[in-house]
Homo-oligomer: A and B are copies of this chain.
């Protein structure tokens, strides 16, 4: 029997057309040629995608295709190609979810250690974790290093580069990363805490390999990387080769037509993210609370042997929302507040300490 991925698409089409539209999608996402011209019975039976179900969904329809697992070649770029390659160009089609056949995930790395590993490393077995960002881009290295030291002394767990800080002339990776790492290490020695630095990795494979060398040489253990910017298969290779924890950033994910829970939750986890950043509801982005909770579930739900991936809600968050976010997402979460801390100006150290304190407080209604 052919193992198949069950991919569900929401298609805007009239009821009279939906069966034909679903069959056309099955052809598009597999053999991409007229079935009448295929003489090979094995291809017709085991390679052509199959329409498994068609269900009404409001004004549209949810169509589930059975896509032969063998066509994905157990590889990230080809997996995504089979799921949403050509039909990404058809605006009436949205990819909603994928159920993988048993054992399929073993072909992919998954998170190196995920939530459990991060908690152990940060000596924080239970409480929600905290994260902030070094900003603004264009700042000299000294400013960013000083800010990192401040955040680490305030007790922030993970200090990441702003995703816009890459390898620009004003703070080149090779100068910035050792300086920031040293500032955090110094603060850690003072506080006895274990703050981690996650610098932005960007560029092509050769640049990324050089960045990994520089980062490891100075003791960095975590990388901030946008899988959609560097490429999904590159992300997988980073996971397999770099020996760094991976904090996934959603930049360029434009997940308007792939359900965010699938892309930022399930797929980024399958490909190896230890933690995944996503736009929290009520901030600068328009994701609904339901969408955000679905991302968190996709990142953490039991899935064969894959470690859980840490959900990291972000984007216009404030210290005032910490309790609500902890209640909504639970403690297996890392709260990321960047601009919301920096807006405090001279009161930044106090605001950062308040962020840390609010994450450590018992929630109202709990012991």
User: Interface-forming stretch among A31-39, A181-189, A190-198?
Assistant: A31-39
With a 10 A CB-CB cut-off, give which of A77, A84, A164, A207 has the most chain B CB atoms. A77
A338 contact set on B, CB distance < 8 A:
32-33
| Candidates B73, B81, B139, B170; contact of A226 at CB < 8 Å | B81
A359 to B82, CA, bound (A): 32
Tell me the A11-59 residues at the B interface (CB within 8 Å). 24, 28, 30-34, 36-38, 40, 42-43, 46-48
A86 to B279, CA, bound (A): 9
- Is A282's CB within 8 Å of the partner chain B? no
A194 to B90, CA, bound (A): 35
- Is A75's CB within 8 Å of the partner chain B? yes
Q: Mark A251-263, 1 if CB is under 8 A from B, else 0.
A: 1111111100000
A315 to B33, CA, bound (A): 10
Q: Which residue in chain B gives the minimum CB-CB distance to A45?
A: B138
Q: Which residue in chain B gives the minimum CB-CB distance to A73?
A: B168
- Is A309's CB within 8 Å of the partner chain B? no
- Is A163's CB within 8 Å of the partner chain B? yes
A68 contact set on B, CB distance < 8 A:
138
A233 touches B253 (CB 8 A): no
A70 contact set on B, CB distance < 8 A:
138, 168-170
A322 to chain B, nearest CB (A): 19
Q: A226-B81, A234-B231 are in contact. Are A47 and B89 (CB under 8 A)?
A: no
A344 to B203, CA, bound (A): 45
Q: A37-B342, A43-B136, A90-B285 are in contact. Are A256 and B255 (CB under 8 A)?
A: no
A36 contact set on B, CB distance < 8 A:
343, 345
A202 touches B253 (CB 8 A): no
Question: What range describes how many residues of A lie at the interface?
Answer: 35 or more
A60 to chain B, nearest CB (A): 16
A202 touches B137 (CB 8 A): no
Q: A81-B202, A202-B78 are in contact. Are A88 and B251 (CB under 8 A)?
A: yes
A89 to B316, CA, bound (A): 13
A252 touches B88 (CB 8 A): yes
A344 contact set on B, CB distance < 8 A:
37
Main secondary structure of the interface of A (DSSP, over half): loop
B138 touches A71 (CB 8 A): yes
A206 contact set on B, CB distance < 8 A:
237
A34 touches B73 (CB 8 A): no
Q: A31-B136, A33-B342, A251-B86 are in contact. Are A226 and B77 (CB under 8 A)?
A: yes
B90 touches A286 (CB 8 A): yes
A330 contact set on B, CB distance < 8 A:
none
B284 touches A76 (CB 8 A): no
A363 to chain B, nearest CB (A): 28
With a 10 A CB-CB cut-off, give which of A43, A231, A285, A343 has the most chain B CB atoms. A231
| Candidates B47, B136, B226, B231; contact of A137 at CB < 8 Å | B47
A254 to chain B, nearest CB (A): 3
B231 touches A233 (CB 8 A): yes
A72 contact set on B, CB distance < 8 A:
168
Identify 30 residue pairs between A and B in the complex whose beta-carbon atoms are under 8 Å apart, listed by A's number: A28-B284, A30-B137, A32-B136, A32-B163, A33-B135, A34-B339, A37-B343, A37-B344, A37-B345, A42-B138, A70-B168, A70-B169, A71-B164, A73-B202, A75-B166, A75-B202, A76-B204, A77-B166, A85-B163, A86-B163, A88-B252, A88-B255, A89-B253, A91-B286, A205-B233, A207-B233, A229-B232, A231-B233, A231-B234, A254-B257
